[in-house]
A and B are shown apart, each in its own frame.
Chain A
Amino acid sequence: MNILTGALNEVELELVGRFRELFKRRSMRISIEPGTSLLEIVTELGRAIGVDLRSEFIGPDGKPMEESSLIIVNGRVVDLTRMSEQFIKPGDRIVLAPSVAGGG
């Protein structure tokens, strides 16, 4: 996976809330090998910006951080307990966001 250059096999990454501050941008394109899991992408992205990005989604106890974070792939919300089973393909749109706040 090469997250620095835009090339073939591109995925669109959109950033909302504190993820905008972490990445210092609203969106970016990353290129991936087909069949990369979402968990791998998150881990790798974190490495590239020098942040433990995984810990934004998976707590120290191994539990998903559903009260604080949210990942959307092509409009579908990802069950954070299953990030390693969620495979990303070129053309996908990934959104990293804080979870929904409010009365709901």
Chain B
Amino acid sequence: MKGYAGKYLIIDLTRGKTSVGRVDESFALNYIGGYGFGARTLYDMMPKPAEVDPFSPENVLIWWTGPLAGTISTAGNKYAVFAKSPLTGIFGFGISSGLFASEFKSAGWDGVVFTGRSEKPVYLTIDDENIELRSASSIWGRTTWETEEMIKEELGDESFTVASIGPAGERMVRLANITNERNRQVGRCGLGAVMGSKNLKAVAARGTKDVEVFDTEGLVKFIAELNERCQGSATEKYRVYGTPANILVHNKLGCLPSYNFQRGTFEYAEEVSGEMMLKTHVKKIVACAGCPIACDHVNQAREDYAGTVSSVDYESLELLGPNCGIRSLDTITKAVEICDTLGVDTISAGNVIGWAMECFEKGILTKDDTDGVELRFGSNEALLEALRRMCLKEGRLGMLLSEGVRRASQIVGKGSERFAVHCKGLEWAAYELRSLQTSTLGFAVSNRGADYLRSGSYQVDVKGKVDRLRLDKSRGKIVYDGENQYAVIDSLIICKFTRGVFKSMDELAKLYTLVTGLSMTGEQILKAGERIHNVARCFNVKCGVTRKDDYPPPRAFEDPLPDDIVKGAVIRREEYDEALDGYYECRGWNRDGVPLKSKLLELGLTKEAEEVGVEA
């Protein structure tokens, strides 16, 4: 089999020992790569996840590429990282892009698994067969951007790509992420904090080997066609305005969260729109390695923050902007820079600060609790100061925010849990709860927690295919189909922005076969997607996840939207229950959300059937 390197590294950080694992054909066919490999290995390597403290040496930190990395495949240079999440306490997972995955594969590896904990700060270098844990004592404390430069300099070659954590990850801030090539992040689930807990500062990779594919000629031809399609109308939105184009569209739809999800529109939306940003702040649009689309809009701030440069996408812009009542693109550009360099997820950061601002305005948090910060919606200074303290765990405010919105609201209490907008502990992304109800179902049932990337279920809402202000049983099937497809995309791993580019699952299967030489149909690969999703769910069931965890936060049910366009929109509990039942039925899970033995066996998951599956 081609495409895969066929082997992965296993590194025991406690003993500093390295061994090698094999990727065989049946593993490849059943789990594809990325998400699938991660779900399988995390499940197998952590038999009793409920007993594992995410910050203990018993947590396992797993990195995988997919078969496409390092080939010329359209937007296919991606890697994924897995562990038990310190933010959610369940299946933790995140994907990043850029050159890193290409170098990693070119070095001859599909993945790396870290166990244990290093006594002192270290970073790993993967230089073809030469694997080394090097001291990170001189770079500990540095930002992600500094770390990249310092490691390249220390190793004496710019062609090393570096994925690292910043001071937030070192301090085990539960929102900490992993950054490679400055602007690309494994953003969610606090996986940077897991690295920090293991004293692992960075992974640097350089490869010199050919990435062998099965039919190079055929692949190159197919990629020419796909890349051509990527210049068409389906991806124009990414190429021109980038994802910030969503700001005004969502505002017109009443699904732009503002003021910690109290509203679905923002009165200053024009000022922070993608249209405005392109005119006044975007200095350069760049691409990840191997991507013909290029969506990454790099901003340069002006005036107070002159010289500040950061890459601003919709989610970051929205949660650090409207969700905190912020209307200044300069401030948002600065806020993203703080998150990227100190190393926290912009989505979770904007969400938890929005929550804290609402607490402050309601008198639940006082200046005493915030160490003097006037934490009001719309305050530029307060946002930046809160961010900085959160990343560094500085003072009472910093310590509180660093816990993430679920834990922070449990610590504060006083009814603040009611407006902590998360699911399973993962902060809700920038899609409104009540005015995109299929989307809300998709977020809430996801394996990571409130996840905007696992089903694309918002699409039926914004294409007018369903009544987006109501729910019914049929939505379950929509989420189910979307999740299985996305599980394939996340396992190959290919960028979701190519969605309108592939005509069918058969085309994804064709790409897989051209690269690997393993025969695969659209139907088979979709089945693999379903299998992968179920493995991750079984891991979560072992962590204690059941039906009760598959609900959106109270605000979705209790606070009708005040905005004109969608006035009164709210989720009705009985409708949600029905939609959730519909989803479980499609999944072949019982009413409590536990997979049935029969379903797991049908998917070939005998171990899961035995350990987790229930009788009908």
Chain A–chain B contact at Cβ < 8 A? yes
Contact size class for B? 35 or more
Query: Which residue of chain B has the shortest Cβ distance to A97 in the bound complex?
Result: B249
Complex Cα distance, B525 from A85, in Å, reads 39
Complex Cα distance, B313 from A102, in Å, reads 9
Contact between B462 and A70, CB atoms less than 8 A apart: yes
Contact between A68 and B462, CB atoms less than 8 A apart: no
Q: Which of A70-104 contact B (CB under 8 A)?
A: 70, 72, 74-80, 95, 97-104
B315 beta carbon closer than 8 Å to chain A: yes
Q: Which of B290-328 contact A (CB under 8 A)?
A: 313-315
Q: What sequence of 0s and 1s flags, for each residue 231-275 of chain B, a beta carbon within 8 Å of any chain A beta carbon? A: 001101110111101101110111000000000000000000011
B16 beta carbon closer than 8 Å to chain A: no
Complex Cα distance, B317 from A101, in Å, reads 14
Contact of A16 among B242, B249, B431, B464 (CB under 8 A): B249
Contact between A77 and B462, CB atoms less than 8 A apart: yes
Contact between A98 and B236, CB atoms less than 8 A apart: yes
Contact between B252 and A102, CB atoms less than 8 A apart: no
Contact between A67 and B500, CB atoms less than 8 A apart: yes
Query: Which residue of chain B has the shortest Cβ distance to A69 in the bound complex?
Result: B233
Complex Cα distance, B241 from A20, in Å, reads 12
Of the listed stretches B86-94, B174-182, B193-201, B450-458, chain A binds B450-458
B439 beta carbon closer than 8 Å to chain A: yes
Contact between A99 and B463, CB atoms less than 8 A apart: yes
* List of A residues within 8 angstroms of B474 by Cβ: none
Contact of A77 among B246, B253, B500 (CB under 8 A): B253
Q: Which of A4-19 contact B (CB under 8 A)?
A: 14, 16-18
Contact of B496 among A66, A76, A78, A103 (CB under 8 A): A103
* List of B residues within 8 angstroms of A99 by Cβ: 237, 249, 462-463
* List of A residues within 8 angstroms of B458 by Cβ: 100, 104
Q: What sequence of 0s and 1s flags, for each residue 59-70 of chain A, a beta carbon within 8 Å of any chain B beta carbon? A: 000000111111
Contact between A17 and B453, CB atoms less than 8 A apart: no
Residue with the highest number of chain B CB atoms closer than 10 Å, among A69, A76, A79, A102? A102
Contact between A80 and B496, CB atoms less than 8 A apart: no
Query: Which residue of chain A has the shortest Cβ distance to B431 in the bound complex?
Result: A104
Contact between A17 and B463, CB atoms less than 8 A apart: no
CB proximity of B612 to chain A, nearest CB, Å: 28
Q: What sequence of 0s and 1s flags, for each residue 22-57 of chain A, a beta carbon within 8 Å of any chain B beta carbon? A: 000000000000000000000000000000000000
Apart from A77-B464, A100-B250, what are 13 other A-B pairs with CB-CB below 8 Å? A16-B249, A75-B254, A77-B461, A79-B463, A79-B464, A80-B464, A98-B236, A98-B245, A98-B249, A99-B463, A100-B249, A102-B315, A103-B453
21 A-B contacts (beta carbon < 8 Å): A16-B275, A17-B245, A17-B248, A17-B249, A17-B275, A20-B275, A67-B499, A68-B233, A68-B500, A72-B253, A75-B566, A76-B464, A77-B463, A97-B248, A97-B252, A100-B250, A100-B462, A102-B246, A102-B313, A102-B315, A104-B453
